[in-house]
Amino acid sequence: MSVGPAAGALAAGPPVRVLVVEDEPVAAQAHEAYVGRVPGFEVVGVARTGAEAVRLLGAADPAVDLVLLDMHLPDRHGLDLVRAMRTAGHPADVIAVTSARDLAVVRAAVSQGIVQYLLKPFVFSALRDKLERYAAYRGQLAAGGTAGGQGDVDRALSALRGSSGTGLPKGLGAQTLEAVIAAVRDTPSSAAEVAGRTGSARVTTRRYLEHLADTGVVVRAPRYGLPGRPEVEYRWVWPETGPDSP
C-alpha cells in the first residue's frame, strides 16, 4: 500500500498545532504571526524558556504537533530541550529557528531528529516554505500503512528537503545578502559604507538594504552632519540572543 495522501490533504484535516519557543519577545511575536498566515497551522502556545516549553508540552490537549525552537534559551540550550522532550515521551516534531551557524550545531540537530533548520534572520516566505514542506511530509505519512517500495519512502523524506526558493525578490542572491548582513549587523551604516565592505556596487547594495528594511531586519534613519542632503543610514534591529552552542 502506498504511503499516505498528497501533501495538500493536510489542510482539509485538523490544523498542525504549533508551540513557539523563543525568548525574544519581538521574535516570538513575529514567529507567531508568521505561522498564523500559513493555512493548516495554528499556534497553541508561546514559551520563553525551556522549562515553560516542557510545561506547555505536557499540558497541551490535544498534543502539540510541531515545535519552532530557538537554540539559545535562558535556562538551557535547545538541543537539551529536545533531549528532555524525548525522555519525557513527547513526540512533537521540531524545526530549529535560530541564528546558530555552527555546523556542529546543525549536525547535532540532525542527530536529535530535528526535521528542519531555519537561520535567522528570515522573511515570511522562508518559514512558509519550511512549514509547507513539513505539511507535505505529514501528508505523505498521514494514512499509515506500509510503503509500496523505496520510492514511497524517498518521496516522504524528500518532502522535508530542499527548498522551493530563497524567499528573496527577483535579482537578489542569498550569498550577497549574507555579506550585506555581516557588514551592517554591528555598525549602523550607509549603502556606500556597506558597499565598500562587501565589494558590491552601491546601487546593488542599496537594493539588499532596502529589502532588509522592508522585512524589518534593519531600520532606515537620516544621517545628518554632512554637507548636502541627509544620507540614509541602516541600523540592525533584528532580535538576537547571542552565540548558540550545543
* Whether the Cβ atoms of residue 192 and residue 154 lie closer than 8 Å to each other: no
CATH class entry, domain 7-158:
alpha beta
The larger pLDDT score, comparing residue 177 to residue 192, is at 192
Give the HSE-up count for residue 236: Cα atoms under 13 Å, Cβ half-sphere. Answer: 16
Task: Provide the 3-class DSSP secondary structure of residue 141.
Answer: helix
Q: What is the tens place of the pLDDT at every residue in 100-119?
A: 777 787 888 888 888 888 88
pLDDT of res. 206: 93
Alpha-carbon distance 36 to 38, whole Å? 6
* 217 CB burial (10 A radius; 0-12, 13-18, 19+): buried
Whole-number average pLDDT of the chain: 80
Question: Closest Cα to residue 165, out of 127, 129, 134, 210?
Answer: 129
Question: Closest Cα to residue 204, out of 177, 166, 229?
Answer: 177
| Band (237; pLDDT cuts 50, 70, 90) | confident
* Whether the Cβ atoms of residue 18 and residue 68 lie closer than 8 Å to each other: yes
Alpha-carbon distance 109 to 117, whole Å? 8
Give the whole-number percent of the chain exceeding pLDDT 90: 37
Q: Is the pLDDT of residue 229 over 60?
A: yes
Q: What is the tens place of the pLDDT at every residue in 36-81?
A: 999 999 999 999 999 999 999 988 778 899 999 998 899 999 999 9
**Global confidence as pTM:** 0.66
What the block records as the C-alpha cell of 242 is 547571542
| Strands (DSSP E) found in the chain | 16-21, 41-47, 66-69, 93-98, 116-119, 189-190, 218-223, 231-236
Domains in the chain: boundaries:
7-158, 174-236
The answer, yes or no, to whether the previous bond of 169 is cis (omega within 30 of 0) is no
The residue whose grid cell reads 499516505 is: 4
The larger pLDDT score, comparing residue 26 to residue 46, is at 46
Q: What is the tens place of the pLDDT at every residue in 151-185?
A: 555 555 555 565 555 566 778 887 888 889 889 98
| Band (202; pLDDT cuts 50, 70, 90) | very high
What the block records as the C-alpha cell of 46 is 508561546
**Which fold, 174-236?**
Arc Repressor Mutant, subunit A (1.10.10)
Backbone angles phi, psi at 81, to 5 degrees: -65, -40
Identify any residues that bridge with 21 across adjacent strands, giving them in sequence order. 47, 69
The larger pLDDT score, comparing residue 143 to residue 194, is at 194
Give the HSE-up count for residue 151: Cα atoms under 13 Å, Cβ half-sphere. Answer: 3
| Residue 217 CA to its chain's centroid (Å) | 14
Q: Is the pLDDT of residue 1 over 60?
A: no
Average pLDDT (142-154) is: 55
